[in-house]
Structure 1
Amino acid sequence: MREEAKDMSFQNDNQTLLNGDATKVSSSIFSSLLASNDRDYLLSSTSNQVRISALDGKIVGLYFAANWYRPCREFTQVLVDVYEQLKNSGCVFEIVYVSSDEDSDAFNAYLACMPWLAIPFSDLETKKALNRKFDVEGIPCLVILHPNDTKDEATLHDGVELVYRYGAQAFPFTKQRLEELEKEEKERHDNQNLIDLLTNHDRDYLLGHPRPEHVPVASLIGKTIGLFFSGQWCVPCVKFIPKLISSYHKIKQMVADNQGEDFEVVFVSSDRDQASFDSYFNTMPWLALPFGDPNIKNLAKHFDVKAIPCLVILGPDGKTVTRHGRNLINLYQENAYPFTDAKLELLEKQMDEAAKDLPRSVSHAGHRHELNLVSEGNGGGPFICCDCDEQGTAWVYQCLECGYEVHPKCVRVAAVDR
């Protein structure tokens, strides 16, 4: 019923425009972008034809995606929710799907899940032209177009990030609106505290061990806290957790020995059911938000968590120290504590000193070519280690022939043939 009403709405828009100013329709920026020599329409999710002129006067998102790519499927679910919120609020907003599907059956199945319009699958030339014009390098990609912007000055290419970050609040996707949202976000982060982040009107505690121990959130005030966004189904999470557990115990021991500020980790679950949560949490020595708690989505949005595992570090004052705790644990283990800029600067200096004693080139057992030691300033920089699959920065052993890169600590010296 909803789809029939939507198609009727599109048809009414078409009739209004057909009875209106023909010059306005022909000069539409959307017609010039989306029409072809033999087509002046788009397809609805029920395969009905909708005149492109129905888009005139609306803010339009060009959605580049494909059903075979999981990140697209995940973002589509988010985008559908935002789209329906905006339409139900009467916002003049529309989306046009630009498909990278493998065949027409895949395209039709994916479009059927979308409440918006699409360029026909068969119109390969228009789809290629749009990809070239907006320099689409990866999917999902959401390009926002404004109806009166004839010079592309108001075009936004980062619609996916904006929707993930702000949801329906990002509308109308103008520079002024985004500046307002950034200001509001900064104020929220400046004023954040542990109680507001981790409690709600139904709960003022976290889960501990042994179950069903309840630990008051108030007891964590004054401690450095790691918010660990993770899920048992996620392979990188399962690979990372032993490193985090090891560093957690060593940090706790360091704190006890030095009588410093305490450290705690709070598991923020992305598990898909209670049984998975229980099984995963039972492997952890720290605390957790209850499974399905409403704070989980709020925290993911507040800290702009797009992928897991993610470790957000909060200082003793409840303010954010870094959202890159995972990378710091991978690089420095327990030595990263307390994750402050001053500590990281010290660790980087120590790495530079240690690098002076490293060989300039090595033969690594995991690679056939010789690897050369490079720093961030001479060809290094952020990288993913090809041996442990974790991120690194600064010094790296790099293959100049094929780009293979490994942490210095991951190098396994190859045996020399005699």
Structure 2
Amino acid sequence: MKAEMKDGAPQVVMNHNGNHGKFSHLLASQDRDYLLSPTGAQVKVSDLEGKVVGLLFAANWYPPCRGFTQVLAGIYEELKSRVPQFEIVYVSSDEDLNAFNSFYGSMPWIAIPFSDLETKKSLTRKFDVEAVPCLILLQPDDRKEHATVRDGVELIYRYGIQAYPFSKDRLEQLQKEDKVKRDNQTLTNLLANHHRDYVLSHTHTGLKKVPVASLVGKTIGLYFSAEWCVPCAKFTPKLISVYEKIKHELAEKGEEDFEVVLISSDRDQASFDSYYSTMPWLALPFGDPEIKNLVRHYNVQGIPWLVIIGPDGKTITVHGRSLINLYQENAYPFTKAKVEELEKQLEEEAKGLPALVYHQGHRHDLNLVSDGNGGGPFICCVCDEQGSSWAYQCLQCGYEVHPKCVRTVERDDNVLVDTTGCF
């Protein structure tokens, strides 16, 4: 999810010296021909000419901006050590100077001064920036085809430093490599490498090594998660419950066809050990190089994230979290046929739901909607989990909840009467 931004006013810019370079037109003003560096020094806008430049639209008040900035900073430092012809310019949407200073203090690149509101508005309008974080990547030569790349956030999450110089040719090459990886994907080349052919498992005496080869032929969930992540803390217990129910049902049939592997984003070994100790499944070792490869391969932009791999080693879905939220253990084995079957059941159940309810957690009536009549993917305002298909939605303010999360009340002369026993 991204935070919405307001559109800005147009502006014609020029620096003091009348420099008509590409970046001087974009980033200078009549009163300013410089940008700020993290040390507070002034950097001439003209110094950017001939470089690949990223315009980072972000704000301190929006958590995804802070998360992306942390990722981008690591890539920026690595690139700058090898490629001086690269730079990033921060275009702030912070609410005040203190917020700007606090957020910019975590950034290693240059920035438009917080006081220059007109230039920031001009850039927002020119590049149609409607949400943050947003990373616009500009080539030094406007005459090159596709000189402007607008989906820089996705590219950084997906490819990292490999995306440089963010040109059309480089991106096409990466897309071709992605296709080859998908076509040749196996569980072994996803989880193993030349130095490691195992994953970890709990035992009474500590961790043991489980050969990746022993997982081939099973349905595997790759669980991207971390101890520091608040949504993960809510989803992990639910996934544990579903996992144990699926394993129990399979064991009664004499089958061992399902497993989950933790792909950790924890920041240190102690956090990984603490978090993994609560889980009944397998894990990649902390800090394993394949973790970054898997994050890029599946374009993981937020956690928790659950990818389902089929017995043939191919990806069934990257929406495992949503399927767990919707169908719990009934989602297994997560195939398209199974999901279609469950959707039909949901359609039948929805026929018995009221078209309009008054929910105890909201001040307006909620309408029953589906994908076909105004619904779609959403975050439930009660349980904070993903949802899709059927929902109860407020047409006035966009409030949405899962049908199972609705707590209805009756209104009688402006008095709310509990009908669920939940008050």
TM-score bin (small chain): 0.7 to 0.9
Distance 2:100 2:39 in 1: 12
Cα shift at 1:26: 3.0
Corresponding residue of 1:177: 170
Q: By how many angstroms is 1:100 displaced? A: 2.8
Residue-by-residue CA offset, 1:66-123 (whole Å, 9 max, x unaligned)? 3454433332333233233333334632222222344445545654554432222221
Hey, what does 1:45 align to over in structure 2? 38
Change (3 A) 1:110 1:397: closer
Which residue of the other structure, out of 284, 287, 294, is the alignment partner of 2:289? 294
SS in 2 for 1:54: helix
Distance (whole Å) between structure 2 residues aligned to residue 191 and residue 206 of structure 1: 21
Alignment deviations for residues 220-258 of structure 1 (CA, whole Å, 9 cap, x no partner): 111000011112222211111222122112222333344
**Matched residue, 2:13:** none
What is the CA–CA distance in structure 1 between the aligned matches of 2:35 and 2:181, rounded to whole Å?
A: 41
CA distance in 1, matches of 2:405, 2:296: 34
Q: Does 1:119 align with 2:97?
A: no
Alignment pair present for 1:411 and 2:409: no
Residue number among 16, 29, 35 corresponding to 1:36 in the alignment? 29
Contact 1:222 1:261 in 2 (8 A): no
Q: Compared with structure 1, are the counterparts of its residues 190 and 67 closer, same or farther at alpha carbon in structure 2 (3 Å cutoff)?
A: same
**Residue 386 in 1 paired to residue 381 in 2?**
yes
Q: Structure 1 pair 74/383, CA: closer, same or farther in 2 (3 Å)?
A: closer
Residue 323 of structure 1 deviates from its aligned partner by 1.0
Write the letter of the residue equivalent to 2:85.
V
TM norm structure 1: 0.86
* Match 2:369 to one of 351, 357, 374: 374
- The aligned residue for residue 87 of structure 2 is 94
Q: Kindly provide the amino acid, as one letter, of the partner of residue 362 in structure 1.
A: V
Q: Per-residue displacement from partner, 1:374-407 (whole Å, max 9, x unpaired)?
A: 2211111111112211111111122233322221
- Pick which of 138-147 and 87-96 moved more: 87-96
1:284 aligns with 2:298: no
- Scaled by the length of structure 2, the TM-score of the pair is 0.85
Aligned-pair identity in percent equals: 68
Partner of 2:135: 142
Amino acid at match of 1:343: K
Matches within 5 A, 1:9-408: 26-90=19-83, 92-104=85-97, 106-108=99-101, 110-111=103-104, 113-149=106-142, 154-210=147-203, 211-258=206-253, 262-408=257-403
**Amino acid in structure 2 at the alignment position of 1:355:** A
Structure number with the higher strand fraction is 2
Question: C-alpha distance in 2, partners of 1:115/1:386?
Answer: 36
Which string of whole-angstrom CA distances, capped at 9 and with x for unpartnered residues, describes residues 310-354 of structure 1?
111111122211111000000011111111112111211121122
The answer for unaligned runs of 5 or more in structure 1 is 1-21
Unaligned runs of 5+ in 2: 1-16, 418-423
Helix, strand or coil: the match of 1:209? strand
**Alpha-carbon distance between aligned partners in 1 of 2:214 and 2:122, rounded to the nearest angstrom:** 58
Q: More helix by proportion, 1 or 2? A: 1
Distance 1:93 1:138 in 2: 24
